């Protein structure tokens, strides 16, 4: 596999971080469009394999996919560059949001601000639809695979239970083995062969084990003690225990910071609304919360610094596990029944994306006439024009502001 420089990886992901609205499912579509269809860094099979690996792991799925792409193309520096580039725009935006939320509300009324965010978010609907159609053709090409996809979608759409995403994907894996779905052995994606990369595996393992104490720290230390370590422990715990992407982390953070009284419900909800309209990973919400906590000291520098520290901490558990898993993936991939299972996983992943497309992406607009207009316009731009996605987003944001302000 041809390597790419860390600088090149950083700038590719930085550009994606500027316009990747819509949450984890939309990010998967953006990554596929960029690195499979345009840059051809990976084949469809390789990319879906990366997606499947990351869907199995705790943490922010889309950021893990980006980090894995960086690792495979540029080693440890490439992985760091991919994560930093993709996360930086949203992180800076959310830190600024902590400073200027009240001022923004004074300049733009609440309805107009909501319309602006809805305009941005509406672009996710056609982006995810395109990704789903393409993945369906490639990975759900027979009746058995379609059934797995529909089963996964039904489980996730109609039922709510703990760790539902990991359960559904695991069920797809088991069904794939039972049905002997089979798949050709994919091109190897392993890169962890050099001594430096072996050191990376060791360092990742040490970090993962060492910081595991932060997962149980909030359980054994009273939450009313608002110490620095307690703050960091809640961020790390949220990042370590979440399956299914950034949306799932919000209840963990609400419990850790609102119910404990560290942050007011008003400030928490205000930041939550902002992050829904921000590009890039939803874990950037941690930068906003960290900045709010830091600003309570009365020092602006502390607010910025703590925002950056907190967003790094929440990402850490989901990223350090990637090199460990990749090290053994090529061996796992050579086993026939494992490939049978992965065929089922691929179909389940399509079902997972379909469930997210139905709710919250599509359902969010069905009872909202203004939202339906925005989705309709976004679909026209994406499906029938040759405009780049970032330009459509720039158009739809002000369009949403106008529609919600005057109609």
Rounded to 5, what percent of the chain is helix, strand, coil?
80, 0, 20
Task: Kindly tell me if the per-residue pLDDT of 261 is higher than 60.
Answer: yes
C-beta separation of 91 from 279 below 8 A: no
Distance (Å, rounded) from C-alpha 44 to C-alpha 192? Answer: 21
Task: Kindly tell me if the per-residue pLDDT of 110 is higher than 60.
Answer: yes
Q: Which percentage of the chain shows pLDDT scores above 90?
A: 28
Task: Specify the range with the lowest mean pLDDT, choosing from 334-343, 355-364, 396-405.
Answer: 355-364
Q: Within a domain: residue 399?
A: yes
Q: Within a domain: residue 172?
A: yes
pLDDT of amino acid 162: 60
Number of domains in the chain: 1
Average pLDDT along the chain: 81
Crossing angle of helices 44-56 and 336-356, rounded to 10°: 80
Distance (Å, rounded) from C-alpha 277 to C-alpha 310? Answer: 20
DSSP 316-379: HHHHHHHHHHHHHHHHHHTSHHHHHHHHHHHHHHHHHHHHHIIIIIIHHHHT-HHHHHHHHHHH
Q: Within a domain: residue 179?
A: yes
pLDDT of amino acid 187: 53
pLDDT of amino acid 128: 78
At residue 229, φ and ψ (nearest 5 deg) are -65, -35
Q: Within a domain: residue 333?
A: yes
What's the rounded mean pLDDT across residues 107-131? 78
- Tell me the pLDDT tens digit for each residue of 237-246: 788 777 555 6
Q: Within a domain: residue 166?
A: yes
- Tell me the pLDDT tens digit for each residue of 19-36: 888 777 789 989 999 999
What's the rounded mean pLDDT across residues 191-219? 55
pLDDT of amino acid 246: 63
What's the rounded mean pLDDT across residues 139-154? 91
Q: Within a domain: residue 152?
A: yes
What's the rounded mean pLDDT across residues 108-127? 78
What's the rounded mean pLDDT across residues 146-175? 85
Kindly report the length of the chain.
407
Task: Kindly tell me if the per-residue pLDDT of 195 is higher than 50.
Answer: no
Residue numbers of the domain that contains 245: 87-406
Give the Cβ contact number of residue 259 at 10 Å.
10
Per the structure block, which two tokens stand in for 76?
Answer: 């440890």
What's the rounded mean pLDDT across residues 261-275? 74
Q: Within a domain: residue 25?
A: no
> pTM of the entire structure?
0.69
Task: Kindly tell me if the per-residue pLDDT of 205 is higher than 80.
Answer: no
The count of C-alpha atoms lying within 13 angstroms of the C-alpha of 67, restricted to the half-sphere facing its C-beta, is 25
What's the rounded mean pLDDT across residues 107-116? 77
Q: Within a domain: residue 59?
A: no
């Amino acid at each position: 596999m041809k390597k790419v420089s860390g600088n090149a990886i950083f700038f590719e992901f930085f550009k994606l971080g500027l316009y990747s609205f819509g949450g984890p499912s939309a990010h998967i579509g953006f990554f596929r469009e960029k690195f499979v269809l345009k840059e051809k860094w990976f084949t469809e099979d390789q990319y879906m394999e990366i997606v499947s690996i990351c869907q199995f792991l705790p943490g922010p799925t889309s950021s893990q996919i980006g980090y894995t792409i960086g690792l495979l193309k540029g080693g440890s520096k490439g992985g760091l560059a991919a994560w930093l580039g993709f996360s930086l725009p949203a992180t800076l935006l959310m830190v600024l949001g902590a400073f200027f939320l009240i001022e923004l509300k004074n300049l733009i009324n609440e309805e107009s601000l909501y319309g602006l965010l809805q305009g941005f978010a509406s672009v996710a609907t056609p982006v995810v639809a395109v990704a789903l159609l393409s993945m369906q053709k490639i990975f759900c090409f027979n009746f058995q695979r379609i059934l797995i996809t529909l089963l996964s979608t039904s489980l996730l759409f109609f039922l709510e239970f703990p760790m539902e995403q990991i359960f559904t994907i695991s069920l797809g894996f088991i069904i794939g083995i039972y049905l002997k779905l089979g798949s050709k052995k994919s091109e190897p994606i392993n890169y962890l062969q050099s001594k430096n990369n072996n050191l990376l595996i060791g360092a990742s393992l040490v970090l993962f084990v060492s910081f595991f104490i932060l997962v149980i720290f909030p359980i054994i230390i009273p939450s009313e003690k608002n110490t620095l370590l307690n703050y960091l422990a809640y961020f790390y715990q949220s990042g370590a225990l979440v399956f299914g992407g950034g949306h799932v982390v919000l209840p963990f953070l609400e419990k850790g910071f609102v119910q404990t009284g560290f942050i007011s419900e008003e400030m928490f909800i205000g930041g939550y609304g902002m992050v829904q309209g921000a590009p890039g990973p939803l874990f950037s919400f941690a930068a906003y919360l960290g900045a709010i906590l830091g600003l309570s000291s009365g020092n602006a520098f502390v607010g910025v610094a703590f925002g950056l520290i907190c967003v790094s901490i929440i990402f850490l558990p989901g990223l350090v596990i990637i090199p460990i898993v990749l090290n053994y993936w090529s061996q796992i991939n050579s086993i026939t029944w494992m490939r049978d299972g992965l065929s089922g996983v691929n179909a389940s992943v399509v079902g997972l994306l379909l469930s997210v497309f139905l709710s919250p992406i599509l359902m969010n607009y069905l009872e909202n006439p203004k939202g339906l207009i925005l989705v309709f316009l976004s679909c026209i731009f994406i499906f029938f024009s040759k405009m780049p996605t970032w330009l459509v987003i720039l158009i739809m944001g002000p369009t949403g502001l106008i529609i919600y302000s005057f109609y």
